[in-house]
Amino acid sequence: MTNRFELPPESQELLARARDVADQDLRPLASAGVAGEPNRHLLAALAAHDLLPRLFPASLGGSREGDVSALELCVLREGLARRCPAAETALALQGLGAYPIVRSGTKELAARWIPEVAQGRAVAAFALTEPGAGSDAAALALEAKPDGDGWRLTGEKKWISNAPHADVYSVFARTSDEPGSSGVTAFVVAGDSPGLGGEPLELVAPHSIGTVTFDGVQVGPESVLGSVGEGFKVAMQTLDLFRPSVGAFAVGMGQAALDAALAYASEREAFGRELRQFQAISQQLADMATQIEAARLLVYSAASRYDSGEGVTRHSAMAKLFATEMAQKVIDAAIQIHGARALERGHMLEELYREVRATRIYEGTSEIQREIITRELYR
């Protein structure tokens, strides 16, 4: 008997394979990408190495039987993040944008889009956030007005990953005047739909992200995901799956920063001895390693609960909160150990420093995660 949490052997193998593929094959493709645009060559490589298809069922062009495993998603994201955060992000965004179609789309919608997404031939996007609806995701203003047997969408989405270049969007719009989440419906919108526009945005990290504008974009009844008025449920089901794996992304980046700090502290000398021999440095390294391990256990515990069918709202929020806050601190500490060289543009830690900041905001800010945790504690 043991109370030690350990990844199953197949998950350990997948973690190592994702890390090695990212290091050997994906990093060069990521470096060659155009800042602010989806890297389609990188998506194709993720598919060729059977990493992206593992998120989708074989019946829809993927390579797994049944639904995606939250634990496997976490393993993939951590492994890729340790060597190539851009590859991790490309994989995760495909899953985030397409999962509502897998879970709630008609057979025809899923057959149309999911094989293309799973094989990296189509870029997917999850279009929930608006200029006035970020943390309060139920306060959506994008209108979907009845038009014949379908709807016309008018309004704007903002800070949407892969926008405005995506080939398919999972879009959440208001179909009634009912307040809050009860009047929201989810739709599939093709990227080449008449009336659909948008502009790229420049953030701290050079991701593909932008606005999506809807100027009377027409969608038919076959484009509805789930049922009319239940779009918020579709969105939350997707976020429940992906929220723990944001923590895995953070764990992977934190581990990469620790690996770099350990190597540098052994190589660099000051005042006649290695940096690791200074107590201030050695204690920092110990704290970094402890925080990473604690975050990893929270992430894998939440994912395992999800896969076993348990309620994961509190545990997912804890995992996302702790792991992303941890990664910010660990990467900052690794930069401090390296000194000015880690601030040079293009240094691995400089890239991680820019990458990690957004994880404390998207898919629920740290403050929102704390609200969720407290609410669940009082249930």
Q: What are the tens digits of pLDDT across the range 349-374?
A: 999 999 999 999 999 999 999 999 99
> How would residue 375 be classed by pLDDT, with cut points 50, 70 and 90?
very high
Q: Considering only 41-50, 165-174, 200-209, 289-298, which range has the smallest mean pLDDT?
A: 200-209
Q: What is the pTM of this model?
A: 0.94
Residues 6+ apart with CB under 8 A from 266: 274, 275, 276
Buried/exposed code over 306-335 (b: 16+ C-beta within 10 A; e: otherwise): bbeeeebbbbbbbbbbbbbbbbbebbebbb
Q: Which residue has the tokens 């397409």?
A: 98
Domains of the chain from N-terminus onward: 9-123 (1.10.540.10), 125-229 (2.40.110.10), 233-377 (1.20.140.10)
What is the sign, positive or negative, of the torsion defined by CA atoms of 266, 270, 273, 278? negative
Question: Quick check: helix, strand or coil at residue 106?
Answer: coil
pLDDT (average), residues 232-256: 95
User: What was the pLDDT predicted at 4?
Assistant: 54
Arithmetic mean of pLDDT over the chain: 94
E strands in 94-223: 124-127, 143-147, 150-161, 168-174, 184-190, 196-197, 209-219
Terminal CA-CA length for the chain:
33
**Is the per-residue pLDDT at 125 higher than 60?**
yes
User: In 82-210, where does DSSP find H-type helix?
Assistant: 85-104, 107-118
CA distances from 209 to 54, 91, 129 (A): 24, 15, 12
Residues 6+ apart with CB under 8 A from 88: 22, 76, 77, 80, 81, 249, 252
Instruction: Tell me the pLDDT tens digit for each residue of 17-31.
Output: 999 999 999 999 999
> How would residue 2 be classed by pLDDT, with cut points 50, 70 and 90?
very low
**Is the per-residue pLDDT at 231 higher than 50?**
yes
User: What was the pLDDT predicted at 305?
Assistant: 94
pLDDT (average), residues 220-233: 95
**Is the per-residue pLDDT at 32 higher than 60?**
yes
Which residues are tagged catalytic? 363
pLDDT (average), residues 107-135: 95
User: What was the pLDDT predicted at 180?
Assistant: 76
How many residues does the structure list for the chain?
Answer: 379
